[in-house]
Amino acid sequence: MATIAFLLNGAPHQCEVSPNTSILTLLREHLALTGTKEGCASGDCGACTVAIGEQNADTHTFTSANACITPAHQLQGRHLVTIEGLAKEGRLHPAQEAMIECHGSQCGFCTPGIVMSLFTLHNDLTQRPAPLTPERLEAALGGNLCRCTGYRPIRDAALRMNDMPYERPQWQDAALSTSENDAEITDPTAKTPFFAQPLSLAALTRLRQEAPQARLVAGGTDLWLESTQRLASLDQLIDVSRVAELLTVEATTFEGQPGWWIGAGVTYTQLEPLFEEHFPAFAHLLHRLGSQQIRNRGTLGGNIANASPIGDTPPVLLALGARVELASVKGSRCLALENFFLDYKQTAMAADEVVSRIFIPQAIERSQLRVWKLSKRREDDISAVLGAFSYRIEQGVLHDVRIAFGGMAATPKRAQAAEATLEGSAITADAFRAAQRSLDEDFQPMSDVRGSQHYRQQAAKNLFERLYLSLSAPDREVMLHAYAH
């Protein structure tokens, strides 16, 4: 047990919980606040959505999170807002008022989560006034499943709440005087539970060395399923989400290449502006990665370190020639990402190492990036197949071809035979047909719940046809832009 101190709906709160406790468990079982619902306990339905505020000058910035897979200890020094907190003195928040007026609830079970997502959207809109585009709405609501309404009245509510008079109440920006938690563990080798929150890379690597058996947690969006689905006890945790060096994005040159060092603890949401500017295809993928709640928590470092064959970002990073930096008390080393993934969920990371940063080289002139994710559902789904294509066209010839796929092998993997086929060749149907054939050398995918082997192989080949068509007849629409660019 350790004490955490945070703001709960505007009031300071302190409690003692075990490291393994999620925010949802804290709310429902320790605090008897049952307005936040459990729909799936896996971060996929959004019924448990809460808002987490971080002090930013005088105000709090609220982001949505799935309480079921967010460690309660990460609330330390933060402001937790739940459905119970929105209405004060009998006055409903516009998100609530609008949901009633638009008949936005039927069975009502998903409603608290939807109201909380609307609350963060409303907060965002009042702090960063910008048009409420369909894309922004989709981002705000894509992580909340509703089985009753079909979402139309919820869309109406999202639009209506912004026309309602609103004055930001003081409680939202209440101050919390609290220090960060200590990163010291009294006896890291013992079986005593701990939730360590180091603030520096030095502290992190020291902890990592002292307690290699402890699990690293950033957003927890995958790790926490071990607790909720497989009933593992996550008793010893090292939180990387407050390590200063892991939270930066630095434009620099590495090994002669301009690019960016991205801290492993940077969330997808924080990456969006950078990618929007420099890698729009990657940014588009981010919009389809998980949900807003997940993107607010999940990190690039976590997606890599997790080494899932169906993680969304690794194929793109492979195609971009990204490097990964591993840090330990002994120092750091850097390797090409393709050398990091060894086998199914096996990486080159040693027990005392952490993923500290990822280097993404800047796109060179005339190079292009295409990222195509195939999944059963457009939003908040895991890829069946994800293809990332990076290449440069000079006088009609393909150069620097780097192609990587997810969902096609035990690891995210480059399609080297296909790359070789296309490298230096003109954009012809024959060349791409040859590349399609060479995919059979690169991959022997398997059948699983997300797609059959035959589909995966054929879909991957069809993406080469898509690429050919988009290059040979660029004026013609050959894909649906809600899915792909």
Partner 1 sequence: MRTLTKLDGDSSRARRDLHDHIQGSGPLARHTVDSTGRRQAGSSSFHESAKKHVTGKAAYIDDLVLPADVLHVALGLSPIAHGTLTQLDLSRVKEAPGVVDVITFHEVPGHTDIGPVFPGDPIFVDQEISYAGQCLFAVAATSLQAARRAVKLAAVSIDEQPASLDPVAATEREEFVRPTHVQTRGNWQQALDQAEQIIEGELFVGGQEHFYLEGQACVVHPTEDEGVIVHTSNQHPSETQKLVAEVLDIPFHAVTVEVRRMGGGFGGKETQASPWACIAAFIARRTGKTVRLRLPRSEDMRATGKRHPFHNRYRLAIDSKGVLQGGEITVIGDCGYSPDLSDAIVDRAMFHADNAYSLGEAQVTGHRAKTHTASNTAFRGFGGPQGMMIIEAAMDDIARKIGEDPLTIRKRNFYRDGREVTHYGQQVDQRQLLHTLVETLESDSEYWARRKAVSDFNATSPVIKKGLALTPVKFGISFTAQHLNQAGALLHVYTDGSVMINHGGTEMGQGLHTKICQVVARELGLDLDKVRITATRTDKVPNTSPTAASSGADLNGMAARDAAGKLRERLFDFAAEHFTEGLDREGMRLEDGMLVAGIGESERRVPWGELVQTAYINRVSLSEKGFYATPLIHYDRSIGQGRPFYYYAFGAAVAEVSVDTLSGEYLVDRVDILHDVGDSLNPAIDIGQVEGGFIQGMGWLTSEELKWNDKGALVSDGPATYKIPTYGDLPPTFNVALLEGHPNSMASLYRSKAVGEPPFMLGISVWSALRDALSSLTNYTDSPHLDTPATPERVMLAANAIREKAL
Residue from 55, 106, 162, 200 that binds partner 1 (CB under 8 A)? 106
Binding mask 409-448 for partner 1 (x = CB under 8 A): ---------------------------------------x
Write down the least CB distance from residue 272 to partner 1, Å.
Answer: 17
Residue from 64, 76, 144, 296 that binds partner 1 (CB under 8 A)? 144
Residue from 57, 130, 231, 351 that binds partner 1 (CB under 8 A)? 231
Residue type, 134: P
Write down the least CB distance from residue 11 to partner 1, Å.
Answer: 17
372 binds partner 1 (CB under 8 A): yes
Whether 206 and 200 have beta carbons less than 8 Å apart is answered as no
SS3 324: strand
Q: Where in 170-209 is the site for partner 1 (CB under 8 A)? A: none
Structure tokens at 90: 């009998």
- Residue 434, classified by CB atoms within 10 Å of its CB into exposed (0-12), middle (13-18) or buried (19+), is middle
Write down the least CB distance from residue 427 to partner 1, Å.
Answer: 17
Helix or strand run (H / E) with residue 216 = strand 215-217
Write down the least CB distance from residue 451 to partner 1, Å.
Answer: 5
Return the range that interacts with partner 1 (CB under 8 A); candidates 120-128, 328-336, 362-370, 454-462. 454-462
Write down the least CB distance from residue 186 to partner 1, Å.
Answer: 25
Structure tokens at 297: 């928590």
Write down the least CB distance from residue 143 to partner 1, Å.
Answer: 8
312 binds partner 1 (CB under 8 A): no
Alpha-carbon torsion (201, 222, 347, 400), positive or negative: negative
Distance CA 57, CA 173 (A): 10
273 binds partner 1 (CB under 8 A): no
Write down the least CB distance from residue 87 to partner 1, Å.
Answer: 5
E strands present in 316-461: 323-328, 331-336, 341-343, 346-347, 354-361, 367-374, 385-394, 397-406, 413-414
Torsions phi, psi for 58 (to 5 deg): -95, -10
Write down the least CB distance from residue 372 to partner 1, Å.
Answer: 7
**Distances from the Cα of 460 to the Cα of 177, 290, 311, 478, angstroms:** 54, 22, 16, 15
Reference 113, options 141, 148, 152, 77; nearest CA is: 141
Residue 10 or 142: which CB sits closer to partner 1?
A: 142
Structure tokens at 453: 């082997």
Residue from 12, 31, 88, 151 that binds partner 1 (CB under 8 A)? 151
Distance CA 401, CA 427 (A): 12
Write down the least CB distance from residue 280 to partner 1, Å.
Answer: 19
Residue 76 or 149: which CB sits closer to partner 1?
A: 149
Residue type, 145: L
Residue 326 or 431: which CB sits closer to partner 1?
A: 431
Return the range that interacts with partner 1 (CB under 8 A); candidates 149-157, 189-197, 201-209, 404-412. 149-157
Q: Where in 238-267 is the site for partner 1 (CB under 8 A)? A: none
Binding mask 43-72 for partner 1 (x = CB under 8 A): -xx-x-------------------------
Residue from 30, 127, 134, 187 that binds partner 1 (CB under 8 A)? 134
455 binds partner 1 (CB under 8 A): yes
Residue 122 or 323: which CB sits closer to partner 1?
A: 122
Q: Where in 66-105 is the site for partner 1 (CB under 8 A)? A: 82-84, 86-87, 92, 95-96, 99-101, 103-105
Our CA dihedral for 269, 275, 280, 286, rounded to 10 degrees, sits at: -30
34 binds partner 1 (CB under 8 A): yes
Residue 112 or 311: which CB sits closer to partner 1?
A: 112
Spatial neighbors of 309 by CB under 8 A, at least 6 apart, are: 344, 406, 407, 408, 409, 410, 411, 412
Structure tokens at 331: 């120092």
Residue 147 or 168: which CB sits closer to partner 1?
A: 147
125 binds partner 1 (CB under 8 A): no
Whether 298 and 290 have beta carbons less than 8 Å apart is answered as yes
136 binds partner 1 (CB under 8 A): no
Reference 307, options 362, 268, 361, 348; nearest CA is: 348
484 binds partner 1 (CB under 8 A): yes
Return the range that interacts with partner 1 (CB under 8 A); candidates 151-159, 178-186, 297-305, 351-359. 151-159
21 binds partner 1 (CB under 8 A): no
Quick one: residue 5, left, alpha or beta (phi over 0 = left, psi -120 to 50 = alpha)?
A: beta
Structure tokens at 447: 């059948």
374 binds partner 1 (CB under 8 A): yes
Helix, strand, coil percentages in the chain from 3-state DSSP, rounded to 5: 35, 25, 40
Residue from 30, 150, 189, 258 that binds partner 1 (CB under 8 A)? 150
Structure tokens at 309: 């064959």
Residue from 109, 166, 171, 254 that binds partner 1 (CB under 8 A)? 109
User: Which residues share a beta bridge with 265?
Assistant: none
Residue from 173, 462, 471, 485 that binds partner 1 (CB under 8 A)? 462
